[in-house]
Chains A and B, each alone.
Chain A
Amino acid sequence: MADPMRIRANNKDGVTEVRVLMSHPMESGVRKDASGALVPAKYITDLDATHNGKTVLKAMFSGAVSQNPFLSFKFKGGAKGEKVAVKWVDNKGESRTDEATIA
């Protein structure tokens, strides 16, 4: 199981701001290691953020996104105490879901 994400969510004036720090190598697949061999591609392809089960953000990442991606977004709604969940899936089919409580 991949390393946990760090998610922070806070609500202000009806708008919830979510900040996610994901732990992922984000290997593009074009890099070569010290011996000259290609380092195989391993990067997040899809991301889904939900609030109370409803999708608030859907994203498609590529190998162009850096290691340990940081994503920050806002959505209308949400209240203190409610949960925001973030799920990512990578090109190898590995996935990780974490959730946070809106502060």
Chain B
Amino acid sequence: MKTRLVISAVLMAAATTGAQAQDAAAAGIAKFREMLADGNPAELFEMKGEELWKQKRGPKNASLEQCDLGLGPGVVQGAFVQLPRYFADTKRVQDLETRLVTCMETLQGFNAEEIARTPFLKGEKETLAALATWIGGLSKDMRFAVPQKHEAEKTMYEVGKRLFFARGGSHDFSCASCHGADNTRIRLQDLPNLTKNPGDGVGFAAWPAYRISNSQMWTMQHRLNDCYRQQRFPEPKWGSDATIALSVYMGVNANGAASIVPALKR
């Protein structure tokens, strides 16, 4: 009896030390990330985005200053945390990027189809990344309030939820395969549970972000595209209802969480 108690006490001590070591490692990584956050190259994209918002561009030689991101023409502060939402003029639920393209088309005369086809970070997609970073940054530390008032918004949430759990592709993956449970990770990358609110600055609240590993500024559409690539799915159409629906699902789930955009990622 005594031997058993001693053994279990030793095991418990070992387990606690193991857990403590893990917490110390997690704390160390958090501190390292904090140090890296000083001088986030995303700031360069924020500066560029502000310039591109105000600059007269495109065939119509106009600026984007009259663009309505949901809070009225030209209102950018706070716009990021209430997207995606339904827009009466286009009669669809749009995320930040598709809404920006709508504005680039109607106000500046750009071709929306052409922008949609342009590869990420090339041509006008680079413009979009800078604009999204700047607009996102203007809502930094604000809490998400993605609306669910319009029927279309509610429908998109349900569509997003179905898509999140739909398994397919060559590996039979779904978004939920990686993001459907608490306390999971892939190798050393912690995976947030996106079926519920993952907390401040996590998941939907962390994109657009600057990726240190490839020195690229990634928007949410870019991130979703890469998620599908990782799941070995066919490439989703840029700005499709499917991608927007997923953003609505994750965005609404994140309601109340604070945005840390633009973030810094590995």
Contact = CB atoms under 8 A, between A and B. Distances in A.
Interface residues of A, number: 12
Contacts of B47: 3-4, 6
Q: Which of the listed residues A20, A68, A70, A72 has the most CB atoms from chain B within 10 Å of its own CB? A: A68
A6 B50 CA distance: 14
A42 interface: no
Nearest to A70: B39
Contact of A19 (B39, B41, B44, B48): B39
B215 A21 contact: no
Nearest to B210: A68
A68 B40 CA distance: 9
Interface string A30-67: 00000000000000000000000000000000000011
B34 interface: no
Contacts of B40: 21
Contact of B38 (A19, A66, A68): A19
B43 interface: yes
Interface string B10-45: 000000000000000000000000000011110110
B39 A21 contact: yes
A28 interface: no
Q: Which of the listed residues B40, B41, B215 has the most CB atoms from chain A within 10 Å of its own CB? A: B41
Contacts of B215: 66-68
Contacts of A23: 41, 44
B47 to A, nearest CB: 7
Contacts of A21: 39-41, 43-44
Contacts of A6: 43-44, 47
Contacts of B48: 3
A45 to B, nearest CB: 19
A72 B40 CA distance: 12
A72 B38 contact: yes
Contacts of B41: 21, 23, 67-68, 70
Contacts of B38: 19, 70, 72
The 3 closest A-B pairs by CB, nearest first: A70-B39, A68-B41, A67-B215
28 contacts: A3-B44, A3-B47, A3-B48, A4-B47, A6-B43, A6-B44, A6-B47, A19-B38, A19-B39, A20-B39, A21-B39, A21-B40, A21-B41, A21-B43, A21-B44, A23-B41, A23-B44, A66-B215, A67-B41, A67-B215, A68-B41, A68-B44, A68-B215, A70-B38, A70-B39, A70-B41, A72-B38, A72-B39
